[in-house]
Amino acid sequence: MPDRRRAKEIVFQAVVAILTFSTIAPLLHIIFSVFVEGLPVLIKGGISFLTDTLAPPSDGLGGIGPAIVGTFVLIALSSLMGLPIALMTGIYSAEYPRSIIGRAAKILLQIMMEFPTILVGLFVMELLVIPMGSYSALAGAFALAVIMMPYVAISTEEALKEIPRSYREAAFSLGLSRAQVVFRVLIKMAKRGTLTGILVGMAKVAGETAPLLFTAGGSERIYFRGLNRPIGAIPLLIYQLVQQPYDNYHQIAWGASLLLMLIFLGIFIPTRLLLREVKF
Amino acid sequence: MNSLEIINLNVYYGNRHVIKGINLKIPQKVVFAIIGPSGSGKSTLLRAINRLIELDEDAKVEGDVRLFKKSIYEMDPREVRRRIGMVFQQPNPFPHMSIYDNVALGPRLNKLVRNKEELDYLVEWALKKAALWDEVKDRLGDLASKLSGGQQQRLCIARALALKPDVLLLDEPTSALDPVSTAKIENLLLELKKSYTVVIVTHRIQQAARIGDYTAFLLDGKLVEVGDTAQIFVNPKDRRTEAYITGRFG
Ligand SMILES: Nc1ncnc2c1ncn2[C@@H]1O[C@H](COP(=O)(O)OP(=O)(O)OP(=O)(O)O)[C@@H](O)[C@H]1O
Ligand SMILES: [Mg+2]
């Protein structure tokens, strides 16, 4: 009998292992092929791949400088617009969970998180692009801010709610005002969760394409020109290059993909490791 | 003069009546022990005394609590909490702050000090009062979470004392501690009563007997009996008190 039980156990473990592997296999495959295809491009292109502008069709690699700068400008701008509002929303719904605004915010944020991002792009196009008469960095960043906000707000709210009640009470028992309790004590205890949300939000918008299609417009050959002018972004560039029939454009797209992945992982991994965990 | 006077106090959580018409006078500079079985309303009573209960939206308070003859409901709740300090059952220093900052936070945010020297002085004073200074004076910058449980609890006492309160409320402050740490805190409270009014809720009847000048017995939200600790333990007037302290229920 013990033998049969042991055999069952082994079979079960094997099945779980196979299923687990098959879920992460696509991810591994993406990472693997992006490296295999992209690395030679980055090596061949060298530094100028990071700084030059796009090459003409069928004529070398050139560079994706404007798209790289564009991605960072868009991350910075959208953070500037989205983070303050998102943090306040998260704090508000953690502090006043029963208020009408607090409850509504919670539901709206959940919906926003699942909302098709291309519709966000359309919405911002109507709101900003058409009135302004041009694609712009501002419109692109605004669309990304809308996408980033729910991640930040929800993770802030959850991080605040995870703090044991006893610390809130201790802070209030020192005669602090509610604002002091939240901003001088609790928000720092929720640092890890909040920062994780901010990073997830940033990494997410760094990789977004759809919301930029009708808002940022793209810019492959000219660097950042101003908030009211079109701007490039790496995912947008990849999307545009892959559609072209030129072999060198496909290579550039692989190089850009590897770079995008490195940026994504570069935002994600170090901060995860660096953040000191607060134990309750 | 009494430092605290509790007058016909009733507390409700929703429609649940938890504190039922309690009247109590707590003199100055004593250790006042509150005993009673679990759920009898001891914590609720303490939380009503420093208005911490108002954090709970469901809670409703009727009656009055007077601090040196002045109704706490006519005072700013922040002032009430500054003057009536609180120490909780689980040691809860802010784990992300240094030992120093835990003590300094209250005085700093309440603007009780004008400069760094005054603050340093106050922090040292509070840590000495809480009998913790010698153990931490060389590591004030360490995270509070690195201290032992007993040290953390004394840090919480220092944190409360740094606001120079009139009254110190302690809700089962030693129930999470070992006997040695417990003894340290009990001795500390006996020292503190020379300048403060100390109100301690305790599960351990022996603790009330050891350090309480007065003892109040709560049962099901009602004050059953209050008096000199010696009288309560040697010669209780109420049969329920007697049953409780002899361990027959609760
Ligand atoms: N926030 C709350 N909401 C609703 N009911 C509560 C709340 N806090 C306490 N109660 C109820 O009020 C009653 C008194 O609770 P309280 O915590 O004051 O008792 P206690 O004497 O401190 O008990 P213990 O010795 O277990 O700490 C209990 O029946 C409890 O369930
Ligand atoms: Mg209690």
Confidence of residue A277 (pLDDT cuts 50, 70, 90): low
- Considering the domain boundaries, does residue A138 fall inside one? yes
Among the ranges given (A66-70, A196-200, B120-124, B157-161), the one the predictor scored with the smallest mean pLDDT: A196-200
For residue A276, pLDDT over 80 is answered with no
In this structure, what CATH number is given to the domain that contains residue A159?
A: 1.10.3720.10
What gap in Å lies between CA B166 and CA B190, rounded to an integer?
A: 15
Please give the residue range of the domain that contains residue A200: 65-274
**Tens digits of per-residue pLDDT, A115-152?**
999 999 999 999 999 999 999 999 999 999 999 999 99
Q: Is B52 on the interface with A (CB under 8 A)?
A: yes
For residue A271, pLDDT over 80 is answered with no
Across residues A171-198, what is the average pLDDT? 93
What gap in Å lies between CA A130 and CA A128, rounded to an integer?
A: 6
What gap in Å lies between CA A51 and CA A69, rounded to an integer?
A: 9
* pLDDT greater at residue B249 or residue A42: A42
For residue A10, pLDDT over 80 is answered with yes
Q: Which amino acid is at B175?
A: S
The pLDDT of residue A224: 86
For the entire predicted model, the pTM comes to 0.86
**Tens digits of per-residue pLDDT, A77-125?**
999 999 999 999 999 999 998 889 989 998 999 999 899 999 999 999 9
Confidence of residue B32 (pLDDT cuts 50, 70, 90): very high
For residue A278, pLDDT over 80 is answered with no
DSSP helix/strand/coil, B25: strand
For residue A231, pLDDT over 60 is answered with yes
Those residues whose C-beta lies under 8 Å from the C-beta of residue B249, and which sit 6 or more positions away, are B37, B243
- Considering the domain boundaries, does residue A172 fall inside one? yes
DSSP H stretches of helix in A115-163: 117-124, 130-132, 137-162
Percent over 70 (pLDDT), chain B: 99
Task: State the average pLDDT for chain A.
Answer: 91
**Tens digits of per-residue pLDDT, B35-77?**
999 999 999 999 999 999 999 989 999 999 999 999 999 999 9
> What pairing do the DSSP bridges indicate for beta strands B214-219 and B197-201?
unpaired
Closest-CA distance of chain B to residue A178, Å: 10
Q: Which residue out of A96, A165, A174 would a mutagenesis test of the B interface target, given it has the greatest number of B Cβ atoms within 10 Å?
A: A174
DSSP bridge partners of B4: B26, B67
The DSSP code for B162 is: T
What gap in Å lies between CA B224 and CA B233, rounded to an integer?
A: 14
What gap in Å lies between CA B47 and CA A165, rounded to an integer?
A: 14
For residue B179, pLDDT over 60 is answered with yes
Q: Which domains does chain B have, with CATH numbers?
A: 28-51+77-245 (3.40.50.300)
Task: State the average pLDDT for chain B.
Answer: 95
B residues 192-231 closer than 8 Å to A (CB) = none
- Atom 4, ligand 1: residue with shortest CA distance: B13
Q: Is B39 a pocket residue for ligand 1 (Cβ < 6 Å)?
A: yes
Structure tokens at A20: 């687990």
- Considering the domain boundaries, does residue A8 fall inside one? no
Closest-CA distance of chain A to residue B167, Å: 12
Tell me the Ramachandran region of residue B228: left when phi exceeds 0, alpha when psi lies from -120 to 50, beta otherwise: beta
Q: Count Cβ atoms below 10 Å from residue A7 Cβ, excluding itself.
A: 10
* pLDDT greater at residue A72 or residue A225: A72
Q: Which amino acid is at B52?
A: L
- Measured in degrees and rounded to the nearest 5, phi and psi for residue A209 equal -115, -50
What letters, b where the CB count within 10 A reaches 16 and e where it falls short, cover B103-114? bbbbbbbbebbe
The pLDDT of residue A280: 58
Q: Count Cβ atoms below 10 Å from residue B76 Cβ, excluding itself.
A: 11
Cβ contacts from A onto B, under 8 A: 67
Long-range contacts of A40-45 (CB under 8 A, 24+ apart): A41/A251, A41/A252, A41/A254, A41/A255, A41/A258, A42/A255, A42/A258, A42/A259, A45/A255
- Considering the domain boundaries, does residue A94 fall inside one? yes
Confidence of residue A268 (pLDDT cuts 50, 70, 90): confident
Q: Tell me the Cα Rg of chain B.
A: 18
The pLDDT of residue A24: 92
Q: Count Cβ atoms below 10 Å from residue A13 Cβ, excluding itself.
A: 10
CA distances for B216 relative to B13, B74, B228, angstroms: 23, 26, 9
Across residues B225-249, what is the average pLDDT? 90
- Considering the domain boundaries, does residue A29 fall inside one? no
What value of ipTM does the predicted structure carry? 0.95
- Atom 10, ligand 1: residue with shortest CA distance: B13
What gap in Å lies between CA B164 and CA B112, rounded to an integer?
A: 10
**Tens digits of per-residue pLDDT, A154-183?**
999 999 999 999 999 999 999 999 999 999
**Tens digits of per-residue pLDDT, B72-131?**
999 999 999 999 999 999 999 999 999 999 999 999 999 999 999 999 999 999 999 999
The pLDDT of residue A135: 95
How many helices and strands in chain A, by DSSP H and E?
14, 0
The pLDDT of residue A274: 64
The pLDDT of residue B246: 86
Cβ distance of A168 and B55 shorter than 8 Å: yes
Torsion of CA B37, B42, B43, B49, to 10 degrees: 180
Confidence of residue A252 (pLDDT cuts 50, 70, 90): very high
- Considering the domain boundaries, does residue A166 fall inside one? yes
The pLDDT of residue B152: 96
Q: Taking ligand 2, which is a single-atom ion, which protein residues have CB atoms under 5 Å away?
A: B 43
Please state the domain count of chain A: 1
Q: Is B163 on the interface with A (CB under 8 A)?
A: yes
- Considering the domain boundaries, does residue A26 fall inside one? no
DSSP helix/strand/coil, B116: helix
Q: Is A4 on the interface with B (CB under 8 A)?
A: no
- Considering the domain boundaries, does residue A123 fall inside one? yes
Q: Is B42 on the interface with A (CB under 8 A)?
A: no
Percent over 70 (pLDDT), chain A: 96
